[in-house]
């Protein structure tokens, strides 16, 4: 009985057990091992590394970042690097190999980086395909304060001055002179000199451009080259000069300038050299204080200069000036420290005794002893309207002497001349009545008898009415005259229509310009009001070359308008730019336009005393 029960239990155990139960543990171990090997192999195939040639460098030195990727088709994403580094160069190499029947592909990227700031900077993890590198920490130190004494092969130096006569200091202890001025007036000339010191040969050299906001930048001449011994080292020097004119008061930041190139490596037994390591040199950023127009300045136009001269020249013989005949006068302005485009017009306006016709001005800039000398040449044709003495009035131009920080005035003295009476006279011609054609025979008789034959002159009426060719010619002449009259009438009508279209278009365009000025004034936007007012003036005065608010003042004689324009111009250089009220300019401008319109209507009703002249 007991034996039967034990056999029954054995049979139940055999029924509940699976035939694979005995091998379950070994199979599970094999599966885990395969998964581990697969994962390990995947890691090996997608390995990406990053490395640098050093971890400590100065801010004016470059560093090479190498990224290596095995069997990875992706490319490095360098977006996050650009916030702390400037990418100066990129390179890529590839390597293929076959080991024990297994092919491998390796990509290596070499990225040249220039740090933008000092301190501890981290090159973040860089993504290559689906993998990322590890982060790298770098220590960026300040650049050397004495590059020449430290024996650097290449370094940059910046000099600032208000004139071009600065000289190279014997020992450039830093990239910026410490004793140079850092405050200038708005629109004043600033000479910026960049010098590159080098004692090695290099190739692929580049120097960053000088780009400044709200500033006019003019490169002065060609680069100068010379050499000098500094701290027992002979350096070759390349010098580049700029003239800059800040157009807005406040802080002006001159950004860091960067030189980059490759040092040339001479090859043995060869006349040629090959490019070697990359060299980077960078200056520090400079902050300048741009001063507004002094409150004590009373001139109509702000002219900061070192000197300003006015000259006058008349081409013709002044002793032969005649009424009704034009003579030419040249007025030349020369200002040291200003551009020709900054100088005001100085021509003489028309009067009751003189009629003037100004020609287009000629502007030029000269480089004299390192200074910019702006030249403006105004040419005007002058016609005396009557005989007798006449005077060309005095010309005065106020300007600010940047050497003495005082306002000065340049004068061109008044000149008096004598206009001779015109030699042209009119005489009454004798009236001659033509003799009528005789219709009857007449005989010419003499008072005394003569033996000569008496000559008879007989006039007979031609018989045109009997000639058909006469009537044909008359008919053709009449047809030709009718055709010519129709053509003239059609041409006149076409001109009237074209003129009407042009006038309508001109009126619409002028209205848009004027409305833009009003809108800017209502918004109290001084900058926009200045731009739109200049555009309106170009259209209104028909002077497309007009530039600047100062030029508008020169061509108008309305004191209220000129004062409003001066206030608008001054507000742009004031620190409180929201104090300008545009409603004043609107009122003055409307009155000026209405007054000119009334004067033009009055002039059109009066006969012209003198026809216009285009010299």
d(CA 312, CA 333) in angstroms, rounded, equals 9
CA distances from 106 to 67, 131, 230, 477 (A): 10, 14, 48, 98
pLDDT at 357: 87
Give 409-427 as a DSSP string. Answer: EEEE--EEEEEBPP-----
Contacts of 429 (CB under 8 A, 6+ apart): none
How much is the pLDDT for 351?
84
* Per-residue exposure over 369-403, b if at least 16 CB sit within 10 Å of its own CB, e if not: ebbbbbbbbbbbbbbbbeeeebebeebebbbbbbe
Q: Which pLDDT belongs to residue 342?
A: 93
* Span 312-321, pLDDT tens digits: 999 889 899 9
Lowest mean pLDDT among 73-77, 100-104, 437-441, 594-598: 437-441
Output phi, psi for 179, to 5 deg: -95, 5
Strands 327-336 and 354-358, bridge-based pairing:
unpaired
| CA 613 – CA 610 distance, rounded (Å) | 9
| Residue 405: pLDDT over 90 | yes
Per-residue model confidence (pLDDT) at position 131: 86
In this structure, of 62-66, 172-176, 501-505, 597-601, the range with the lowest mean pLDDT score is 172-176
594 or 27, greater pLDDT: 594
Helix 582-605 and helix 526-540: axis angle, to 10°? 10
Q: What is the pLDDT of residues 310-352, one digit of tens each?
A: 999 998 898 999 988 899 999 999 999 999 999 999 877 888 8
CA distance 381 to 369: 35
Tokens of 190: 């600033």
- Average pLDDT along the chain: 76
**Over residues 576-584, mean pLDDT:** 76
Question: pLDDT > 90: what percent of the chain?
Answer: 24
Crossing angle between the packed helical segments 559-573 and 582-605, to the nearest 10 degrees: 150
The pLDDT assigned to 170 comes to 38
- Lookup result for tokens 């010191």: 197
Domains in the chain, ordered, with CATH? 45-141 (2.60.40), 154-291 (2.60.40), 304-419 (2.60.40), 480-605 (no CATH)
What is the signed CA dihedral for 567, 571, 573, 577, rounded to 10 degrees?
Answer: 170
Contact of 378 with 431, CB cutoff 8 Å: no
What band does 579 get if pLDDT is binned at 50, 70 and 90? confident
**At 58, which helix (H) or strand (E)?**
strand 56-58
pLDDT tens for each residue of 213-239:
899 999 988 888 887 877 778 888 888
- For residue 36, the model assigns a pLDDT of 45
pTM (predicted TM-score): 0.49
């Amino acid at each position: 009985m007991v034996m039967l029960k034990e056999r029954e239990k054995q049979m139940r155990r055999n029924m509940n057990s699976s035939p694979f139960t005995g091998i379950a543990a070994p199979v599970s171990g094999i599966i885990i091992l395969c998964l581990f090997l697969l994962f390990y192999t995947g890691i090996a195939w997608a390995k990406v590394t990053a490395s640098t040639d050093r971890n400590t460098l100065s801010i004016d030195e470059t560093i090479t970042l190498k990224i290596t990727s095995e069997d990875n088709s992706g490319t490095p994403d360098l977006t996050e690097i650009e916030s702390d580094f400037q990418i100066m160069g990129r390179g890529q190499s590839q390597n293929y190999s076959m080991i024990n029947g297994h092919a491998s592909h390796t990509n290596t990227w070499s990225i040249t980086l220039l740090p933008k700031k000092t301190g501890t900077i981290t090159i973040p993890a860089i993504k290559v395909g689906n993998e990322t590198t590890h982060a790298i920490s770098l220590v960026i130190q300040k650049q050397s304060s004495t590059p020449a004494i430290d024996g650097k092969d290449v370094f940059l130096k910046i000099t600032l001055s208000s004139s071009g006569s600065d000289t190279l200091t014997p020992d450039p202890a830093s990239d910026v002179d410490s004793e140079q001025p850092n405050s200038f007036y708005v629109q004043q000339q600033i000479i910026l000199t960049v010098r590159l010191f080098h004692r090695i040969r290099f190739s692929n050299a580049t120097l960053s451009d000088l780009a400044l906001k709200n500033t006019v930048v003019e490169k002065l001449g060609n680069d100068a080259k010379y050499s000098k011994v500094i701290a027992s080292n002979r350096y070759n020097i390349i010098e580049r000069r700029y003239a800059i004119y800040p157009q807005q008061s406040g802080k002006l930041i001159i950004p860091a300038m960067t030189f980059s190139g490759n040092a040339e490596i001479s090859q043995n037994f060869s006349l040629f050299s090959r490019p070697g390591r990359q060299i980077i040199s960078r200056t520090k950023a400079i902050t300048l204080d741009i001063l507004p127009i002094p409150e004590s300045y009373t001139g109509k136009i702000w002219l900061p200069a070192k000197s300003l001269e006015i000259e006058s020249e008349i081409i013709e013989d002044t002793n032969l000036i005649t009424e009704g005949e034009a003579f030419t006068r040249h007025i030349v302005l020369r200002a040291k420290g200003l551009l020709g485009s900054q100088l005001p017009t100085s021509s003489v306006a028309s009067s009751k005794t003189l009629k003037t016709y100004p020609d287009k001005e000629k502007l030029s800039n000269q480089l004299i002893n390192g200074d910019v000398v702006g030249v403006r040449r105004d040419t005007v044709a002058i016609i005396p309207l009557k005989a007798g003495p006449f005077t060309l009035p005095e010309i005065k131009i106020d300007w600010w002497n940047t050497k003495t920080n005082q306002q000065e005035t340049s004068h061109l003295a008044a000149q008096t001349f004598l206009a001779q009476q015109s030699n042209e006279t009119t005489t009454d011609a004798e009236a001659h009545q033509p003799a009528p054609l005789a219709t009857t025979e007449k005989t010419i008789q003499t008072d005394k008898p003569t033996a000569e034959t008496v000559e008879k002159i007989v006039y007979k009426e031609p018989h045109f009415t009997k000639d058909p060719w006469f009537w044909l010619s008359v008919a053709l002449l009449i047809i030709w005259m009718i055709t010519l009259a129709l053509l003239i009438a059609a041409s006149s009508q076409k001109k009237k229509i074209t003129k009407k279209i042009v006038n309508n278009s001109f009126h619409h365009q002028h209205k848009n310009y004027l409305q833009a000025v009003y809108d800017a004034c209502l918004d109290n936007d001084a900058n926009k009001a200045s731009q739109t007012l200049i555009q309106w003036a170009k259209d209104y005065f028909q002077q497309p070359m007009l530039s600047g608010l100062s030029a508008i003042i020169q061509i108008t004689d309305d004191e209220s308008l000129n004062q409003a324009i001066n206030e608008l111009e001054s507000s742009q250089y004031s620190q409180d730019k929201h104090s300008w009220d545009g409603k004043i300019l609107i009122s003055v401008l409307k009155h000026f336009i209405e007054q000119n319109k009334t004067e033009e209507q009055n002039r059109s009703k009066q006969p012209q005393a003198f026809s216009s002249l285009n010299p």
